[in-house]
Amino acid sequence: MFNLPSLHTVALMLPAIVLGLTLHEFAHGWMADRLGDRTARHMGRLTVNPAAHIDPIGLLLLFFMGFGWAKPVPVNPYNLKLDPRQGMLLVALAGPATNMLLAVISAIASGALAGLNLPYFGGIMLYMIHINVVLAVFNLIPIPPLDGSKILAGILPGRQGWLDQFEQYGTIILIVLVFTGLIGVVFNVVIEPIDRVLFALGGLSTR
């Protein structure tokens, strides 16, 4: 049995999930556009309108199962001004970097506005931090089709054809990691320390 969140929890999580997914995908398109690929712009994806980026099924799964997805922004690496692998490294890195920036901004805003005692503000900021850290770390895992695989391909020398072959199994591997709980081990080691630092910066308590 899955632990379904209450409507109150869903309401607190919604801004973080929608904003985190939307700006993650926008960042990919924005970076590709800056590097010369206009594909996202021509397809109406160079926007911060959530309707252009949110996948309804991926959104629901994030709420109820702890993992999900948005609509991937299309990128043509051969339109980029840089070497395709180096260009895709920057495009891929833009998404997780944006999520981490959102988490840090949320922590700073939480600390700066804590004295106002705004209703539900602390809960919303807590999820803004945690969910964006999760999105950043999860997408940095070097398993296709996650951003981490493209970053790894741009860092390692040579063509890295094995990553292309690995891609057909990537989704299955991710599903296994999630449902066996192994992904939780990574999260506990990496995400919890980051959360603690940012919660402290924002004056937030999880108790």
Give bridge partners of residue 54 from the DSSP assignment: 70
Which residue bears the tokens 């840090």?
104
Q: Tell me which of 13, 19, 23, 25 is the catalytic residue.
A: 25
Buried residues in 52-80 as b, exposed as e (16+ CB within 10 A): bbbbeeebeebeeeeebbbeebebebeeb
25 catalytic per annotation: yes
Catalytic residues: 25
